[in-house]
Amino acid sequence: MASARRRKQEIGRKNKKSSSSRHKLESENQLVDQKEHKATSYMISLASLLAVVVMACSWAFRDILMAKTNQTLFLHIEDGLSGEPNISFDPSKLRYAKDVAGIPQTLAPPVYVRVYKYQHKTRCNLATLGAAARQIVDQQLSTTGAILFRNLHQCIRTTQDFKTFWEGCISSSSSGDWKPMEYFPAGRKRPQIDGVDTPTNFSPRAVVECHNEMTYNPKPAGKIGFYCLQDAETGGETLLKKNEDMTQIVSKETLEFIRQHGGILSEREMHDAQNKPADVEPARHGSWQEQCGVETVEEAVKVFTDLGWSRDSISIDQETTIMTVKHIGSGFIDNDNADEPVWFSNVDMGNARCADGTYIPRNLQLQYNRDKWSVTTAIKLQPGDWLVLDNKAVQHGRLPYQDSRHKKRILLDVYTE
């Protein structure tokens, strides 16, 4: 019995010692695991830091490389176009000429346009050229409102060339987000060349007065660009006017009238091309099928709501099948580079109807039409000129022109949101 108890005690001591060793070994293993985990975490953190540093360096290198590319491709030659000649202007071409006196007969060039010149006489990669122009626009447009690139006819000689250049602009990894925008007019679509818009078909004999693009839509264009592929034989100068300048010259009486009557009403009327009563005249803005490029009313309504209109602003007359779409603007828009909202309205194009159906009084319209020419400037775009505008800061227009058999004005238009 005694020997048996001794054997049990000895076995117990051995088991206790073995258990103690096992616990000690487990503790040592845990300590090793903790050290390895810390080392791994440190390596991961170091790798992440190195990745951030490498990425930052690559961005910096890209910016340096792009800046060097810009310097190689484009030369900043001047701020303003003071060297350009004044443009002769015949006020009798204006629809209100007989009722308004004091409109200038010469227009000075704009002094705020920043000008860059393509430095080479040979072609280069058009996508690279577009990316380089894009970076300049991203860096400068918010300050100036207008940038003019000159001498691009050395590279961009056809509409297809311009399309490749434009693809380089919108696909560039430069700062900001350029989303190409389709022109959505109040009336009929613009004519195109190889899928690129050209200006609206106003008569060459008419003055297209300064305006901001698509002010009649809830979502107007952000940037617009005009590339001169070919200038007119005579005339066709581009008119420019800063919205901030307009804000200063619009009379207090006009501003107060617009505010009291709920803002400026933009309205378009479109008939149903497939179901138009015979005794109803075609709507002044064509059919909604043509306007929206769809076949059903539901699809047309969706086109408008996707573009920012509320469903309540769209109505359809069951008797005439005419669809009416309304947009009411305050007459102003916020501009990040101005201390207060700036004038933003299509009153310039003759739309003087307010939200409640009343019209801006004729005497105020005539005063407005006289005063706005005091801040209007003009420039003749040459082949190879690409003019980029902040659509919320600078208005544009066009003077009358005349083409010849061998020289026809071709301007290519692009827009971003």
Query: Quick one: pLDDT band at residue 68, thresholds 50, 70, 90?
Result: very low
pLDDT tens for 167-184 read 999 988 766 679 999 888
Query: Reduced to 3 DSSP states, what percent helix, strand and coil does the chain have, rounded to the nearest 5?
Result: 40, 20, 40
pLDDT tens for 325-359 read 999 999 988 876 667 889 998 887 778 999 999 99
Residue 114: Cβ within 10 Å count: 22
Residues forming beta bridges with residue 323, ordered by sequence position: 270, 316
How far apart CA 223 and CA 345 sit, in angstroms, is 16
Q: What's the pLDDT score for residue 246?
A: 93
Q: What's the pLDDT score for residue 374?
A: 95
pLDDT tens for 378-414 read 999 999 999 999 999 999 999 999 999 889 999 999 9
Asked if pLDDT for residue 75 goes beyond 70, the answer is yes
> Cβ(118)–Cβ(155) under 8 Å?
yes
How far apart CA 116 and CA 71 sit, in angstroms, is 10
CA torsion sign, 290 to 230 to 125 to 415? negative
**3 state SS for 79-90:** ECCCCCCCEECC
What 3-state class would DSSP assign to 112? coil
Q: What's the pLDDT score for residue 282?
A: 73
How far apart CA 343 and CA 263 sit, in angstroms, is 12
The CA distances from residue 284 to 10, 287, 316, 328, in Å, are 111, 9, 15, 19
Query: Quick one: pLDDT band at residue 71, thresholds 50, 70, 90?
Result: low
Q: What's the pLDDT score for residue 62?
A: 42
* 110 or 282, which is more confident: 110
Most confident of 24-38, 110-124, 228-242, 311-325: 228-242
Q: What's the pLDDT score for residue 60?
A: 40
Q: What's the pLDDT score for residue 51?
A: 55
Q: What's the pLDDT score for residue 166?
A: 97
How far apart CA 182 and CA 176 sit, in angstroms, is 19
Q: What's the pLDDT score for residue 29?
A: 58
Asked if pLDDT for residue 233 goes beyond 70, the answer is yes
Residues forming beta bridges with residue 226, ordered by sequence position: 387, 413
pLDDT tens for 104-122 read 999 999 999 999 999 987 7
Q: How many CA atoms lie within 13 A of 186 on its CB side?
A: 19
Q: What's the pLDDT score for residue 365?
A: 93
- DSSP annotation of 347 reads G
Q: What's the pLDDT score for residue 20?
A: 55
pLDDT tens for 16-47 read 555 555 555 566 556 656 666 665 666 666 65
- DSSP annotation of 414 reads E
pLDDT tens for 125-168 read 999 999 999 999 999 999 999 999 999 999 999 999 999 999 99
- DSSP annotation of 386 reads E
Q: Which fold does the domain 80-258+331-416 belong to in CATH? A: Double-stranded beta-helix (3.60.130)
Q: How many CA atoms lie within 13 A of 40 on its CB side?
A: 6
Buried-state track 34-63, b at ≥16 Cβ within 10 A, e below 16: eeeeeeeeeeeeeeeeeeeeeeeeeeeeee
Q: What mean pLDDT value characterizes the chain?
A: 85
Q: Which residue has the tokens 């086109």?
A: 303
Q: For the residues 232-244, what does the mean pLDDT come to?
A: 96
Q: Which two tokens stand for residue 158?
A: 């056809």
Query: Quick one: pLDDT band at residue 310, thresholds 50, 70, 90?
Result: very high
How far apart CA 392 and CA 343 sit, in angstroms, is 9
Q: Where are the alpha helices (DSSP H) in 335-397?
A: 362-371
Asked if pLDDT for residue 204 goes beyond 90, the answer is yes
Position 244, amino acid: E
